[in-house]
Chains A and B, each alone.
Chain A
Amino acid sequence: MTPVRRRLADPTLVAIALALSLFGIAMVYSAGQTDVPTAVAKVYRQQIVWFVLGLTVAYAISRASVRFLDWVTVPAYASSLVLLFLLLFIGAGAGTAASTKSWLAIGGVRLGQPSELAKIAVVLMLARLLASRKTAPKSLIDLWQPALAVFVPWVLIMRQPDLGTGIVFVGIFFAMLFWAGASWQLLVLVASPVVSLVLAFSTGLWGAWFLVLIALVLWYKPYLLEGVVVVLANVVTGVVAPILWDRLNPYQQKRLLVFLDPSTDPQASGYHVIQSQVAIGSGGWLGKGFTQGSQKRLAFLPAQHTDFIFPVVGEELGFLGVTIALALFLFLLLRSVRIAARSADPFPSLVAFGLVSAWFVHIVVNIGMTLNLLPITGIPLPFFSYGGSFMLMCWLSVGMLGRISSEGRGPADTLVI
């Protein structure tokens, strides 16, 4: 290891993250440059403070060994659960999600969003549980501990309610199972009830899916009980749920939908997505110029400093800016996957991959939402969206990845991906 490597854990990763952060801060600054008086005119200053704090945290965590992470897992997980539980009673809302309880606030001062901490805690906890196994999980019964470890905070977060973060948890769960060596068939079986629920609207599609599932069960030959449970779960979600759904009154249906996605009502979210697409599309090749986006300047773009910050990139810097941002994200993710692959031990490797998967879900869901490829779920874009806890979580991840990288085996560049 070179001396540089020791001081600066994985300089490539840090360089990419720095580039993304500076890009992001520039966009938060631009988000505040509007022709209409806006509350976010000065938030870039706070974002810089959070960025500096994030750098400090990243440096600090990179000084701690992986063993420290192992040691801190259980306390971190436990305190996350406690915080999430407390939030249901004392949580505060903010911004577009004012009715939710995702903020920890004391005396009206919002301290942060514990769900960001919970993401890392869950990654650590899952890594610990999965790493402690001698073999890869083979059956559903093998998965009960990891499933429970994700399910409890997931329920608490969905009670806030915060659908977006809930999705991130699901993503982390599946990604880490994959990294732990779970076979794809097992992953499909675990995911199958959700697929059934999604396909339930079409009898034909669901029927086809159900046949595929039966074939899979017969081929994979899980325990009989498991097979029965999986098939029954699919029947319930695919057949019974729609029937029950139809028997609900419209207002009850709406209530359920609002429970699932409270932050936006359909009409308003439709408007937001259209304006987001107009902003992106009107950017063209090179964009309207930094801070010059009219959709943003004239307040057509909602939440331009948080959830919809990427359309500002698209509008002001055009396809060129978008490509640069996507390329940086791609480098970040691929570099992190390398770090995970290069790690000598299962625990840090799983931690690294868990952090990668959290970023990946954030990036894809957030950017996909701005182009109307995915429904609006309101989750932030790493390094770009304004928000203190999230910035800290991102840089905490960088610090952890850096440490894992420096403890990894062999030089990073030997691994070919």
Chain B
Amino acid sequence: MSFHPNDVQRRARLASAAIFLATVFLAGSFFRTQVLQHSQYALQSEENRLREVPLPAPRGVIYDRNGLILAENLPGYSVSLLAPGVDSLRAALQRLSGTIPLSPEQVNQAVRRFRRAPNRPAVIFPDASFDVVSVLEEHRVEFPGLIIQSSPKRYYPDGPAMAAFVGYTGEINEAELASPTFTGYKAGQQVGKDGLERQYEALLRGREGTRFVEVDARGRVVREAGARQDLRPEAAPPLYTNIDLDLQRFVVEIFGDSLVGGVVAMEPKTGAVLALHSAPTFDPNRFIGGIPADYWRALNEDGRRPLYNKAIKGTYAPASTWKLATAVMAIEQGLVALDDHMPVACAGGYQYGNRRFKCWDKKGHGNVTLAQAIEVSCDVYFYQLGLKIGLSRLVAGGIEMGARERSGIDLPSETRSLFPSAPAVEYYNRRFGARGWSNAVSLNLAIGQGENSQTVVNMARFYSALATDGRAAQPRIVRGEAVHVPMFRLESEQLDGVQKALAGVVQRGTAAASQLRGVMLAGKTGTAQNPHDPNRDHAWFVGFAPADDARIVVAVMLEFGLHGSRAARIASKIIEHYLRVRPEQALSTEGD
């Protein structure tokens, strides 16, 4: 054995150098990890330790024009579970179901929510009853990942009365999460699903807060507070609407549960929507926090289609209410004046080619002026007027008056009204084939039948132009600047004449039963052929009051309403309620 001191010292130096280098290498590695990569690991450590519990922000309260509440937030609770993985979540849910019964659907839903956002607590009961919460609070220690969270619940005090426009809220779904509209949203958040809630989601949502809870490696909550400063949720500012809750309630009351149809009442000058209703209605409160399956089924199986919004979604032939459009475009183009007659007097029908077009009144109206024809809604007069205007101008004029547009009301999913496109000949060729149609379509178009199907809200908009100065006001539920769309250009005497003729409809004509004492009501009835059931026509009335200085426009459409005069009576009651005047009892001829 070589143990000369020099050899030993050489080896000692080698060994010491090796030890020194190894230590320096280790120290260098620690320096890299602890100092150079510190931020990355610090973040990872925070992610390990903290779980974000969302604190939902109260949505903006929605008010009517008089400060009455349309939508508010009630205190509510949501129950969720923090878990490190799907398996442990399932195990925890299994244990939880020993205390609180859980349906397999609820379990699957919770697992789905967990998969979407594993670092957030998986919601089990989005809207837990107080009973559930108190039972769980009692057993809290047994469920270490359990989080019971106050979570404001949306509530519509007049729920069924405002189903047509207020919409509802619900948990954001996969499709919404993926869409650019909802950038920045997180799984599990409540979002507006329809109506104002959807339209004004950005204003109503507020800002979600975050509570940080500390969890251990198995996802059990170790510390509920103080782990890190909470981010307080910020409530959204209130939303002020033009709705007149009193009028809205009245409208809903009139429709009751028996009538089916849609109503829009608005200020003609500003477009401020005072009331909007679709009957039959439903209770949007029951949609909050998940629509109960049986309720959903019942609504879908109802033949009157409560979920189908008849004020903004349903389109119906405008029928005689459209005659005003025909009249206005003829006057505007100088083809006729209000006291002009047509060549053929009405004897209950009009022969065009080899086909006889009937007037609604078989007795005939005789030789009438345009003003009288409006009052009595004489079809024969308008057949001839339509021919005089000519098909392409009928179509172009209709388009000018917004017949192919949405009204632009601030609600999602408004349907675009249907009307031929220009040029008319091309449209009809495309639709029926070059030889499949004749100029007789002009006759139908002139009286609001044929290829014309309007939403109630769009008709209200058109009549706001008749009630004012030829400019229509875009309907608006939420307060804001009035937007006007020019529809036609008439001299003021001409417009006065048209308004007088419309007043005549209620004074002497087809809606004479709907007169009001002390206020001149103007409007036009319509009876639209129902393509599904010839014996159950849709009834229209679109009108405004007072006739010379309109403060309210009302469009009423009754599905299967049989006759426009019925719609007129409803509109009259609405206007009466709004303007606070008494109806004038009068007998009248019932007519179209």
Binding site for B on A (CB under 8 A): 35-36, 130-131, 133-136, 175, 178-181, 275, 277-285, 294-295, 297-300, 314, 318-319, 322-323, 326-327, 329-330, 333-334, 337-338, 340-341, 346, 349, 353, 356, 360, 364, 367-368, 371, 373, 415, 417
Contact = CB atoms under 8 A, between A and B. Distances in A.
B3 A36 contact: no
B12 interface: yes
B23 A329 contact: yes
B215 interface: yes
B31 interface: yes
B16 A281 contact: no
A338 B48 CA distance: 45
Contact of B222 (A36, A175, A284, A346): A36
Contact of B12 (A364, A368, A417): A417
Contacts of A181: 1-3, 7, 11
A326 B1 contact: no
Nearest to A338: B12
A332 B30 CA distance: 20
Given A281-B38, A298-B216, A338-B12, A35 B29 contact: no
B8 A349 contact: yes
Interface stretch (B39-47, B62-70, B279-287): B39-47
A322 B34 contact: yes
Given A136-B1, A279-B45, A360-B22, A341 B9 contact: yes
Contacts of B11: 178-179, 181, 341
A281 B40 contact: yes
B15 interface: yes
A282 B1 contact: no
Nearest to A281: B41
A330 B16 CA distance: 9
Of B7, B14, B16, the most chain A CB neighbours within 10 A belong to B16
Given A178-B11, A300-B48, A353-B15, A319 B1 contact: no
Interface in B1-58: 1-3, 7-9, 11-16, 19-20, 22-23, 26-27, 29-31, 33-35, 37-38, 40-42, 44-46, 48-49
Given A282-B42, A337-B16, A277 B33 contact: yes
Contact of A285 (B12, B34, B44, B46): B34
A403 B22 CA distance: 27
A337 B19 contact: yes
Among B1, B20, B35, chain A packs the most CB atoms within 10 A around the CB of B1
A334 B19 contact: yes
A330 B19 contact: yes
Contacts of B45: 278-279, 281-282, 294-295
6 contacts: A281-B41, A285-B34, A298-B214, A333-B19, A341-B11, A356-B15
A353 B216 CA distance: 44
Nearest to A333: B19
Nearest to B37: A281
Contacts of A319: 30-31, 34-35
A318 B41 CA distance: 13
A180 B34 CA distance: 39
Nearest to B36: A281
B277 to A, nearest CB: 56
A365 to B, nearest CB: 11
Given A136-B1, A181-B1, 18 more contacts: A35-B222, A130-B1, A278-B41, A278-B44, A280-B30, A281-B34, A281-B44, A282-B42, A295-B45, A298-B215, A298-B216, A323-B27, A341-B9, A353-B15, A360-B19, A364-B22, A364-B26, A415-B9
Given A300-B48, A360-B22, A417-B13, A314 B218 contact: no
A349 B16 contact: no
A334 B22 CA distance: 12
Contacts of A349: 3, 8
Given A35-B216, A300-B217, A294 B30 contact: no
B3 A314 contact: no
Interface string B129-144: 0000000000000000
B220 interface: yes
Nearest to A279: B45
B220 A36 contact: yes
A353 to B, nearest CB: 7
A318 B38 CA distance: 10
B223 interface: yes
Main secondary structure of the interface of B (DSSP, over half): helix
A36 B11 CA distance: 49
A295 B42 CA distance: 10
B223 A35 contact: yes
In order of increasing CB-CB distance, the 8 nearest A-B pairs are A281-B41, A282-B45, A341-B12, A181-B2, A298-B216, A299-B217, A136-B2, A319-B34
Contact of B48 (A130, A294, A323): A294
Contacts of B29: 371, 373
A404 B8 CA distance: 16
Contacts of B222: 35-36, 297-298
Nearest to B50: A294
Choose among B7, B22, B30, B215 the residue with the greatest number of A CB atoms under 10 Å from its CB: B30
Interface residues of B, number: 42
Contacts of B19: 330, 333-334, 337, 360
A283 to B, nearest CB: 5
Nearest to A343: B8
B3 A346 contact: yes
A294 B49 contact: yes
Given A35-B214, A415-B9, A284 B34 contact: yes
A298 B144 CA distance: 13
Contacts of B44: 278, 281-282
Contact of B16 (A283, A297, A334): A334
Contact of A340 (B1, B12, B20): B12
A346 B26 contact: no
Interface in B209-266: 214-218, 220, 222-223
B48 A295 contact: yes
Nearest to A178: B11
B41 A322 contact: no
Contact of A314 (B20, B30, B42): B30
A275 B49 CA distance: 12
Contacts of A135: 1-2
B1 A284 contact: no
Contacts of A323: 27, 30
Contacts of B7: 181
A271 to B, nearest CB: 9
A181 to B, nearest CB: 4
Nearest to B45: A282
B27 A322 contact: yes
Interface string B459-473: 000000000000000
A135 B3 CA distance: 8
B12 A367 contact: no
A329 B14 CA distance: 17
Given A133-B1, A282-B45, A417-B12, A36 B216 contact: yes
Among A134, A356, A364, max chain B CB count under 10 A is at A364
A178 B216 CA distance: 48
Nearest to A350: B1
A334 B20 contact: yes
A284 B35 contact: yes
Contacts of A299: 216-218
Contact of B33 (A281, A295, A327, A333): A281
A24 B3 CA distance: 36
B34 A417 contact: no
Contacts of B46: 282
A347 to B, nearest CB: 10
Given A280-B30, A298-B49, A341-B9, A326 B220 contact: no
A314 to B, nearest CB: 6
Nearest to A274: B44
A135 B7 CA distance: 13
A337 B217 contact: no
A318 B34 contact: yes
